[in-house]
Amino acid sequence: MTTITKIPLGQNGPLVSKLGLGCMRMSSVWGGPTNDENESIATIQQALDSGINFLNTGDFYGAGHNEMLVGKAIKGRRDDAFISVKFGAIFHNGQWLGLDLRPIAIKNFINYSLVRLGIDTIDLYQPCRLDNSVPVEDVIGTIADLIKEGKVRHLGVSEITAEQLRKANSIYPVTALEIGYSLADRQIESELLPTAKELGIGVVAFANTAEGLLTGDMKAPLPADSYHNHFSRFQGENLIKNLEKVEVLKQMATDKGYTPTQLAIAWVNAQGSHIMPLVSMSRRSRLPENLKAMEIEFTAEELNTLNTSFAPGTILGDTYLQR
């Protein structure tokens, strides 16, 4: 099996795999079914065996289930894994209630996370996003205190604006920014990505297939019970026109001998040495395909075709990534 190269996470940051494993889908977040736990653990362990050391989880994924799962998978091989944990989201009965970013809550959250993961220190700790409910100074300052205590190694941030990133970094050095990024979602290219690069902050890019739009498997209309129907991108004429754009990606994938998903991941990977595609997997069978995507190279003409066909604004409608 292909092994993955390592890169520094941000300027002079810790060495991590150029491909990250998102563990969220191994648990029930929105009230759906939980995947087979043994298969999920085996997937994490095989990813580690392949050199993927960046494992992304959240304390609210499955109400702690995801952290316990990761904890079981890394037992006895802590040094093989770089653990990234998001906090702050509050769910009840599968419903989003809001954020709790109070310092007292953060200090409570991390102790539960450490116990569930079975570790002494979290490598990257980050609020899942920032709002105006608590001053940024208090949120970032609390994580800085946890770093001084030895409970956290590095500060991360997620789904924020360029202005928020600058402010957070001025309070304590930010190691990594986690953000949605794909051919279909390029709005961060105007301000956020340049800011991260200027500040020497690594980028952990999730949603590389734009919630399935770029897999080549989506067809209009979607089933009535699909969660995608909540977003205008996947509704009516928007979806039909968006899928027409995806045909360009499908044709290129056929010509190159890969899948559209592999090309979608490869495009994100090609956007910079400081950008890590974060790919969600819950089955070992997905690993070879996703690892292979990291070897794909594009010609200048192919990149121009993709960048033109998926220029910012060409994909119609919004998803949760636009806020």
- Asked if residue 221 has a cis previous peptide bond (ω within 30° of 0), the answer is yes
Q: 46 near 212, Cβ under 8 Å?
A: no
Terminal-residue alpha carbon distance, the chain: 39
Place of tokens 């806020």: 323
H-type alpha helices, the chain: 37-49, 65-74, 103-117, 136-149, 162-171, 192-199, 236-256, 260-269, 287-293, 300-309
Encoded tokens for 153: 């190694």
Pick from 34, 97, 207, 185: which is nearest to 105 by CA?
97
Per the annotation, the verdict on 258 as an active-site residue is no
- Cβ–Cβ under 8 Å, residues 134 and 152: no
Contact of 128 with 87, CB cutoff 8 Å = yes
Q: Taking a C-beta distance cutoff of 8 angstroms, is the pair 154, 123 a contact?
A: yes
Q: Is 44 helix (H, G, I), strand (E, B) or coil?
A: helix
- CA 211, distance to chain mean position in Å, is 12
Distances (CA, A) of 158 to 86, 124, 147, 177, 191: 8, 11, 18, 6, 15
Angle between helices 236-256 and 300-309 (to 10 degrees): 170
Q: What is the largest CA-CA distance in the chain?
A: 55
- With 0-12 CB in 10 A as exposed, 13-18 as middle and 19+ as buried, what is 219? exposed
* Catalytic member of 61, 125, 181, 258: 61
Q: Which residues are catalytic?
A: 61
